[in-house]
Structure 1
Amino acid sequence: MLIYRKMAAVLVAVLMLVAGLVHAEERPPVADRVIAYAGEQGVKVWTLRIGERSANQALVQIEGIDHDWNMRIQKMDVVKTDKVTRYYTTVDGQKFAALVIQGSDSWSASELYLPGEAQALKIGYSDSLSEQGNAQAFLTDYLSAQK
């Protein structure tokens, strides 16, 4: 009887290990680096490519705003042209451009749009915020919120 218990314990341990490996494989690929922006009224915007590059999707988190979107991580579609990158989500069944980035460091041209707000917030790339970002931790936070 003792041998069966030991075998059962080993089997359970192996199954848990395999389940852990399978779970780890479910993580989608992400970019190596978080790209962050800082803006008016202390707003911070964190972005991270998720999936293959060809999927054109990113995780976006907005921080420091009095809005329902504060600290919520959303997956958005990304459309890039020669001069602008737009991040789209769906709001009330409609395509909504939440983030419009023009150039890499232009404060006057990049803007954050929030549903229900009359004016956009101006934002600009922040190297110091980007250095603080951790791509894998960002992904973990997003996946945890999806459960």
Structure 2
Amino acid sequence: MTGYLKWPALLAACFSFWFSQAQAEERPEVAKHVVAYLGTEGAKVWTLRIGDRTANEALVQVEGIDHDWDMRIQKMHVEKTSKDTRYWTTVDGKKFVALIVQGTWGGELYLPGEAQPRPVGYSEGLSQQGNAEAFLTDYLAAKK
């Protein structure tokens, strides 16, 4: 390679490295494990802490339901009380609690427009199928 071709190649390599590092830094921290719940009629709820633990936020995806929220990944607030953990978001300008988990074994899924909650329970098998980094990638791609 002649001298005048080395500098552009070196600059391109540096830019490529910098760009890939900048993209990696844009990914927020997430928990290492996905926690999943299985409900009636095939409903699945996937949860994943996003950001610092003190931010109290999680990604939540509901799957296998006949609803507008099917397969949509949403960032929700998390409130932990002495009785349960509540995942909530804003719907029509109001706080809407979408998931209540008592302990880790049982809970209820609430969907906008539906009169009755759906019972859900922790699923170890489903949780093991979850991939935290892939979940985050899907969420970030949907935001674009």
| TM-score (structure 2 length as normaliser) | 0.95
Would you say 1:123 and 2:124 are equivalent positions? no
Runs of 4+ in 1 over 6 A off after TM superposition: none
Counterpart AA for 1:72: R
Partners in 2 of 1:63 and 1:5 — Cα distance?
A: 53
Would you say 1:35 and 2:35 are equivalent positions? yes
Counterpart AA for 1:117: E
Over aligned residue pairs, what C-alpha RMSD do you find?
1.0
Secondary structure of the corresponding residue to residue 141 of structure 1: helix
1:29 shift after superposition: 0.7
- The runs of 5 or more residues in structure 2 that have no matched partner are none
Quote the residue 2:65 is aligned against.
65
Task: Encode CA deviations 1:77-106: one digit per residue, 9 max, x unaligned.
Answer: 000011110001010111100001112113
Quote the residue 1:139 is aligned against.
136
- Spell out the pairing of 1:1-147 with structure 2 (5 A cutoff): 3-106=3-106, 110-147=107-144
- The runs of 5 or more residues in structure 1 that have no matched partner are none
Partners in 1 of 2:108 and 2:118 — Cα distance?
A: 5
1:5 shift after superposition: 3.5
Number of aligned residue pairs: give it: 143
Secondary structure of the corresponding residue to residue 104 of structure 2: coil
1:52 shift after superposition: 0.5
Residue identity over aligned pairs, in percent, reads 63
| TM-score (structure 1 length as normaliser) | 0.94
Counterpart AA for 2:13: A
1:130 shift after superposition: 0.4
Task: Encode CA deviations 1:36-71: one digit per residue, 9 max, x unaligned.
Answer: 000011000000000000000000000000111100
Partners in 1 of 2:113 and 2:45 — Cα distance?
A: 18
1:118 shift after superposition: 1.2
Partners in 2 of 1:45 and 1:12 — Cα distance?
A: 44
